[in-house]
Amino acid sequence: MKGGGALELKVVIGDAIQIEVDALIVNLFEGITQPGGATGAVDRALGGAITELIAASEIKGRSGENTLIHTLGRIPAKRVIVAGLGKQSQLSVDRIRRITAEACRYARGKGSRRLATIVHGAGAGGIEPDIAAQAIAEGSILGLYTFRRHITKEPDNGRVDELLIVERDESRLSQLERGCSAGKVIAEAVNFARDMINEPANFMTPGDMAETAMKIAAEYGLQYTVLEREQMREMGMGALLGVAQGSGQAPKFIVLQYRGDDASQRVVGLVGKGITFDSGGISIKPSENMGEMKGDMAGGATVMAVLLALGQLKPKINVTALIPATENLPSGMALKPGDVVRAMNGKTIEIVSTDAEGRLILADALSYAVKLGLSPIVDVATLTGACHVALGDVATGGFTNNEELVKRVVGSAEEAGERLWQMPMYEEYREQNKSDVADIKNTGGRYGGAITAAQFLSEFVGDSPWVHLDIAGTSYASKEKGYVVKGATGATVRTLIGLVLSLASGGG
């Protein structure tokens, strides 16, 4: 299930200058002229090579800077990479993730397959060893991610097989191992989502999504069920069925459950948009970049990835994930502008654009979440181009009917180093969704499009506390940066894992 052989991570107690690897990653804060700690030890073993490069201004310690030093047999490691940590006052957990990712990719580019790193941030940086180790695990696994399933030739830039996290102080071992294994589970969950999202639509149909869900359920102790078209009909999911009717692929309504707290009645709901390809339907999209719409199931992949992680982290909480999955295609059978459909909660919807399909399938999924009594409910969707326009590819849009809940989600996003910006839900916007022929229409016009889409969704969540995350801008990266690589980002997977863990441990 994981892309091309997962990276091996290990914590080893020992001296960095004794370790035998292809590349040893050490670090330096900006402005330091005489490195201390493990970097200092390596410097001395190399006869002061690092100090000399600092004096010559070749190493400045800026964040993102990587300098290669060949050791020529002076220590067992073949190469040393000095990674800039930036200014000490600006050190953050997310910066450790980023510099680890960049240093690992740099090492990979130099043909190094076995790497070791000192624990960035846990020395002079003052960050707890478990937190630092987790950031290193996340940064390396996320930053080295590639999607090569459909490329038959070997990569030019090689591959990294192993990363050792080296620490001298044995008393830190269990903390480091705990952080490392949590980071591994979380980052591999993100990469699982990335794999699903990057997969071409002919390899990731609704049926393929359901099969993937079934496999992870079997492997990680989750409960899996799927509703077929017939059951969707019985349940009155007219909006989802409307979107699905133009496609030759059978729609699937995937349900994954994680049960970690038998004593509690509460079940948290995670809902993810699962459009495996969005052509726009009869309101067809321009052909340029239409291929990117293979990633329109990112929300569904995200919530599946969260449950995969929960199955391993085993927090004391219950979570149910709902993923309505279908293609959105034009055909003689397809939904048409002007049609009216009826969602599971009884509300009727006028179809203005068949390209506003995400909110239709979510209308039924959210209605079902309410019927199941899930609370709180968080949905994740590549919902609107308008959100991409508003926030760029930097921040996910957050929308809510519950300020307390959204604060929690924003807090989890901050911890994950994921940008999330709350957007307004002023009632004045509701006007734009009014229809002359049905209870509501499925587009509210050009202006405030991300908000009117969120307002539309709010019609289907009843009184349940709910947050909607629009990842249209953040789910896909056009260039690599830090631990984000080109293509699917897996945005909000880590935020939502953090949210569930915080709900499990902190009430709320």
Catalytic residues: 285, 359
Decide if 91 contacts 53 (C-beta within 8 A): no
- Rg over alpha carbons for the chain, rounded to the nearest Å, is 24
Cα–Cα distance between 235 and 240 in angstroms, integer?
Answer: 11
C-alpha 146, offset from chain centre: 15
Q: Which of 102, 130, 188, 278 binds Mn ion (CB under 5 A)?
A: 278
Which string of x and - marks every residue 233-272 that binds Zn ion (by CB under 5 A)? ----------------------------------------
Q: Whose CB is nearest to Zn ion?
A: 278
Q: By C-beta, is 472 or 499 nearer to Zn ion?
A: 472
Out of Zn ion, ligand BES, Mn ion, none, what residue 137 binds, judged by CB under 5 to 8 A for its kind, is none
Give me 425's structure tokens.
Answer: 């839900």
Please list every residue from 22 through 81 that binds Mn ion, using CB under 5 A: none
Find the helix packing angle between 493-506 and 173-198, rounded to 10°. 130
Q: By C-beta, is 184 or 388 nearer to ligand BES?
A: 388
SS (H, E, C) 373-441: CCCCEEEEECCCHHHHHHHCCCCEEEEECCHHHHHHHHHHHHHHCCCEEECCCCHHHHHHHCCCCCCEE
Q: Whose CB is nearest to ligand BES?
A: 385
For 109, the enclosing helix (H) or strand (E) is helix 93-109
Which string of x and - marks every residue 229-268 that binds Mn ion (by CB under 5 A)? ----------------------------------------
How near is the Cβ of 7 to ligand BES at its closest, in Å? Answer: 29
How near is the Cβ of 387 to ligand BES at its closest, in Å? Answer: 8
| E strand spans, 20-138 | 23-29, 66-70, 79-86, 114-118
How near is the Cβ of 298 to Zn ion at its closest, in Å? Answer: 10
Q: By C-beta, is 208 or 357 nearer to Mn ion?
A: 357
DSSP 8-state assignment for residue 17: G
Q: Which of 43, 102, 138, 355 binds Mn ion (CB under 5 A)?
A: 355
Cα–Cα distance between 463 and 117 in angstroms, integer?
Answer: 49
Applying CB under 5 A, the span of 104-112, 224-232, 353-361, 406-414 interacting with Mn ion comes to 353-361
Q: By C-beta, is 14 or 445 nearer to ligand BES?
A: 445
CA-CA-CA-CA torsion sign (89, 497, 395, 291) = positive
Cα–Cα distance between 68 and 51 in angstroms, integer?
Answer: 14
How near is the Cβ of 449 to ligand BES at its closest, in Å? Answer: 6
Please list every residue from 442 through 471 that binds Zn ion, using CB under 5 A: none
How near is the Cβ of 439 to Mn ion at its closest, in Å? Answer: 21
Beta bridge partners of 374: none
Query: Residue holding tokens 């729609």?
Result: 251
Residues in touch with ligand BES (CB under 6 A)? 278, 296, 353, 355-358, 382, 384-386, 388, 443, 449, 472
Q: By C-beta, is 43 or 470 nearer to ligand BES?
A: 470
CA-nearest of 479, 473, 478, 466 to 492 is 473
Applying CB under 5 A, the span of 82-90, 134-142, 349-357, 393-401 interacting with Mn ion comes to 349-357
Beta bridge partners of 421: 397
How near is the Cβ of 358 to Zn ion at its closest, in Å? Answer: 4
Asked if 300 is part of the footprint of Zn ion (rule: CB under 5 A), the reply reads no
Q: Which of 358, 398, 465, 482 binds Zn ion (CB under 5 A)?
A: 358
Cα–Cα distance between 371 and 344 in angstroms, integer?
Answer: 10
Out of Mn ion, ligand BES, Zn ion, none, what residue 353 binds, judged by CB under 5 to 8 A for its kind, is ligand BES
How near is the Cβ of 337 to ligand BES at its closest, in Å? Answer: 10
Asked if 130 is part of the footprint of Zn ion (rule: CB under 5 A), the reply reads no
Asked if 418 is part of the footprint of Mn ion (rule: CB under 5 A), the reply reads no
User: Where would I find the H helices in 123-205?
Assistant: 129-143, 173-198
Query: Residue holding tokens 């894992």?
Result: 497
Applying CB under 5 A, the span of 90-98, 189-197, 217-225, 354-362 interacting with Mn ion comes to 354-362
Decide if 368 contacts 260 (C-beta within 8 A): no
Task: Determine the 3-state secondary structure of 269 from DSSP.
Answer: strand
How near is the Cβ of 335 to Zn ion at its closest, in Å? Answer: 13
Q: Which of 130, 138, 208, 296 binds Zn ion (CB under 5 A)?
A: 296
Name the phi and psi angles at 456, rounded to 5. -60, -50
Q: By C-beta, is 188 or 278 nearer to Zn ion?
A: 278
Please list every residue from 38 through 77 that binds Zn ion, using CB under 5 A: none
Decide if 452 contacts 443 (C-beta within 8 A): yes
Binding site for Zn ion (CB under 5 A): 275, 278, 296, 358
